[in-house]
Amino acid sequence: MKKQRKHYTPEEKVAILRRHLVEGVPISDLCDERGLQPTVFYRWQKEFFENGAAAFQQRGRTSRQPEQERIAYLEQKIQTKDNAYQPPLGCPLVSRLSDLIAQPWIKR
């Protein structure tokens, strides 16, 4: 009959690795204690060191970058619209438009 595999959570794996790396417990003792093959322990250790940089990355940074770019684009677009050409108040077109708006009884 086959021996059932034990599936360890990431937290359990880190705890086992910590006992060896920080507390200095020999790998052979940890493997005997947990029923692990040493090759499994070494694979976990390799993955841990290869992916260790991920622990120091800021969370959510990648998802916010496109959002920040869109915000900057929209703010620039608003500024451009605010700086769009506005005819002077004395311009005949502006005067005529303001007269039409002020006199709603005129049929257009």
pLDDT in tens, 39-94: 999 999 999 998 888 777 766 555 667 888 888 888 888 877 766 666 666 666 55
Q: Which two tokens stand for residue 62?
A: 């990648």
Bigger pLDDT: 33 vs 89: 33
pLDDT of residue 44: 93
Burial of 67 (0-12, 13-18, 19+ CB in 10 A): exposed
CA–CA separation, 20 vs 42, rounded Å? 11
Mean pLDDT throughout 18-34?
A: 94
Bigger pLDDT: 24 vs 94: 24
pTM above 0.95, yes or no: no
Q: Which two tokens stand for residue 74?
A: 């929209």
Q: Which two tokens stand for residue 3?
A: 């021996």
Half-sphere exposure for 26 (CA within 13 Å, toward CB): 3
